[in-house]
Each structure stands twice: as C-alpha cells, then as structure tokens.
Structure 1
Amino acid sequence: MPWVWLGIASIFEILFALSSRSACGYTRLWPSLLNVAAAIGGMYTLSLALLTLDVGTAYTIWTGIGATGTVLLGAWLYHERLTPLKLASIAAIIMGAVGLHALAG
C-alpha cells in the first residue's frame, strides 16, 4: 500500500506544478484552489507512504515522477519543447530513482 500512496502523491505533485502555472500568481480562483488542494493532498499521501518506505528513496521517486510528469505534460499541454537533452535528463532521473530503489534495504 505505501507504493500506492506514493503514486497518488506523485500525481498530486504533477497537479501542483501544472496548476501553479494556471493560477497566475494566485490571481485566478479555481486554479489557485486546485493548487492548494494538490499541495495538501500530495503532502498527506506522501506522509502515508513514508510510514513504511525509506525517506530518501521515497522522496527521490516522488520528485522524479513529479518532474518527469511535469516535463512531459508541459510539452503536451503547453507546447513546451522536448529537446534531446531534456529527454536524456529525464532518463537520468528515472535511472537514479530505480538505482536508489534497488539499493534500498
């Protein structure tokens, strides 16, 4: 179950990042409310995952999924450029998270 909580927390992290842009400095009500709700939901579900998982590994995976999802969805939703260097960086993030998980006791 902790991995499910971590997955849900990662989705909240992506929603938080994307809604930060849409909130326009907290000047738009609904994106701002989504942003705050995503932040609270993300912290809560991450804390549930951390009851069992190693904090370093879980945090790295959480931020890695959040960063990867945000970059990919930013390219899809906002037409941000996906360069070869960005894709290589995403691969490095994923490899680092997998490595930490493999080494976790």
Structure 2
Amino acid sequence: MAWIHLLIASIFEVVFALGTNATDGFTKFWPSVVTLVAAAAGVYFLSLALRTLDVSVGYTIWTGVGSVGTVTLGTIIFDEELNAGKVLAFVLIIGGVLGLKLADRKSGTTQPAEPEPAPVSV
C-alpha cells in the first residue's frame, strides 16, 4: 500500500508544480486553491507512504517522479522545450527511481506497519 500512497503523492506533486505556474504568483484564485490543496494532499500521501518506506527512498522517489511528470506535462501543456539534456536527465532520474525501488525490495529495510493497539480490559 505504501507504493500506491507514494504514487498518489507523486501525482499531487506534479499538480502542485504545474499549478504553481498557473497561479501567476498566487494572484489567480482557483489555480491558487488547486495548488495549495495539491501541495497538502501530496505531503499527506507522502507521510502515509513513509509509515512503511524509508524516508531516503520515499522522498527521493516522490521528488523524482514529480520532476519527470512536471517536465513531461510542462512540455505538453506549456509548450516548454524538451532537449537532449532534459531527456538525459529523465533517463537518469528514472534509473535512480528504479534502482531505489529494487534496493528497497532486496534489502528488506522497509519497516513493518505498526501493529494495532491491543484492546484495554477494564
């Protein structure tokens, strides 16, 4: 479930980044609202993912996926230039994300979910 939370958090990270551009310095009301909600939701879902994942893995993947998504959609939505340097950075980020996920799976360093508290008898 942590990886699903991390994916959701990453989507909100992309919405936050793209929304920030659309706010025009937070002078446009609805884009500003969407941006602030996306930022809060992204951090919330990241915090859920970090209950299980190491922060070094979760945060890095969150920012990496957010970066790749932002560059991709920024190119499509805002007609930003996509050049060889950006493509190379894409490949490196995706490789790093995959490497972190594989290393996390192999090392067994993820923390188990906290057990439910035992009922208290009176």
TM range (shorter): over 0.9
Secondary structure of 2:31 counterpart: helix
Tell me if 1:59 matches 2:59. yes
Structure 2: segments with no counterpart, 5+ residues: 108-122
Gaps of 5+ in 1: none
Letter in 2 for 1:57: V
CA distance in 2, matches of 1:51, 1:76: 34
State the alpha-carbon separation in 1 of the partners of residues 48 and 79 from structure 2: 34
Identical aligned residues as a percent: 48
CA–CA distance in 2 between the matches of 1:2 and 1:103?
16
Distance in 2 (CA, whole Å) between partners of 1:7 and 1:76 is 21
Equivalent-residue separation in structure 2 for 1:99 and 1:5 (angstroms): 19
Give the TM-score normalised by structure 1: 0.97
The CA deviation at 1:40 is 0.5
TM-score w.r.t. the length of structure 2 is 0.84
Deviations 1:13-50 (A, max 9, x none): 00000000000111000000001000100010000000
Aligned to 2:26, the other structure's residue is in SS state: coil
What is the distance in 1 between the residues matched to 2:94 and 2:82?
Answer: 16
Mapped to 1, the partners of 2:51 and 2:102 lie a distance apart of 19
> How many pairs align?
105
Q: Deviations over 1:64-90 (max 9, x none)?
A: 110000000000001101001100101
Q: Which has the larger radius of gyration?
A: 2
CA RMSD of aligned residues (A): 0.7
Aligned to 1:45: 45
1:101 alignment counterpart:
101
Report runs of 4+ in structure 1 exceeding 3 Å deviation: none
Which structure shows the higher helix fraction?
Answer: 1
Q: Which residue of 1 aligns with 2:91?
A: 91
> AA paired with 2:78?
Y
